[in-house]
Amino acid sequence: MNGLEPLTGELLALDLLNTLPYTAQGPPADQLADTAGLLNWLALEGERLPGAAGVREATPEDLAAVRAVRAHAALAVAAARHGECPPASALSGLNEAQLAAPAIRYAEWDGDAVAVTARRSGPLGVRVAAALAEEVAGLLADPALARIRECEAEDCTMLFVPAHPRRRWCSAERCGNRARVARYYRRHKGEAPDAPR
């Protein structure tokens, strides 16, 4: 998975967890390994993280805050998906991240009416971590948690909520195509005249 863009478009909490995909070939390909990776991911998530769109700089502290929420989320979601109580430290970490930059319903006149937007104060990482922790907390209480699946590709652990009950892969373009090609190759392997033996 190294070199691929992060998978986005799932629930934001799952998109965060999917920034650390494990593969059968070796260590995870951490897409938040550095501040450049964080900025890339924030750009891909666009408007889903208010206040993070268009950000051009991130500090190591920003990265650490987001990665801490990801670690707490991974523990909490894994336990909850299996009907177990999430570790108290994971829930506490998610709560603390939210408390560090609570969302304020900010009201202002836009020329025609009062517009209300959610705003958080503080450094980028604290704001993003708080928003992500809020998304994870929402997922933990959402019935969709029971429908989360792990990609069925041999070397992928991406998580998704299937819109269709027959969905098997995180992405038809990524793992679905690879699985179909591998299946075709296995079926026709012996038919090729110069197939390796």
Render pLDDT for 91-116 as a digit per residue (tens, 0 to 9): 999 999 999 999 999 999 999 999 99
Helix 124-140 × helix 88-100 angle, to 10°:
130
Model pLDDT, residue 179: 63
- What is the DSSP secondary-structure string of 1-54? -TTSPPP-SS-HHHHHHTTS--BTTBS---TTSSHHHHHHHHHHHGGGSTTTTT
Determine, yes or no, domain membership for 176. no
Segment (H or E) for 172: none
Count of structural domains, the chain: 1
Average pLDDT over residues 23-27: 64
CA–CA separation, 195 vs 180, rounded Å? 19
* Per-residue pLDDT tens over the stretch 59-80: 999 999 999 999 999 999 999 9
> What is the token pair recorded at 180?
């179909």
Model pLDDT, residue 67: 98
- What is the DSSP secondary-structure string of 96-113? HHHHHS--EEEEEE-SSS
The CATH number of whichever domain residue 145 belongs to comes to: 1.10.3300.10
Determine, yes or no, domain membership for 116. yes
Look at residue 6 and tell me whether its pLDDT is greater than 60: yes
Determine, yes or no, domain membership for 27. yes
Look at residue 171 and tell me whether its pLDDT is greater than 80: no
Q: Contact, 130 vs 103, CB < 8 A?
A: yes
Determine, yes or no, domain membership for 102. yes
Q: Strands, DSSP E only, in 34-179? A: 104-109, 114-119, 149-150, 159-160
Model pLDDT, residue 117: 87
Average pLDDT over residues 123-143: 96
Domain that holds residue 16: 12-149
The gap from C-alpha 155 to its chain's centroid, in whole angstroms, comes to 17
Determine, yes or no, domain membership for 192. no
For the chain, give the percent of residues with pLDDT over 70: 85
* Per-residue pLDDT tens over the stretch 30-54: 999 999 999 999 999 977 887 787 8
Q: What is the DSSP letter of 122?
A: S
Look at residue 82 and tell me whether its pLDDT is greater than 90: yes
The least confident of 11-25, 29-43, 92-106, 128-142 is 11-25
Listed residue (152, 143, 149, 146) closest to 180, CA to CA: 152
Determine, yes or no, domain membership for 159. no
Model pLDDT, residue 192: 47
Determine, yes or no, domain membership for 53. yes
Determine, yes or no, domain membership for 194. no
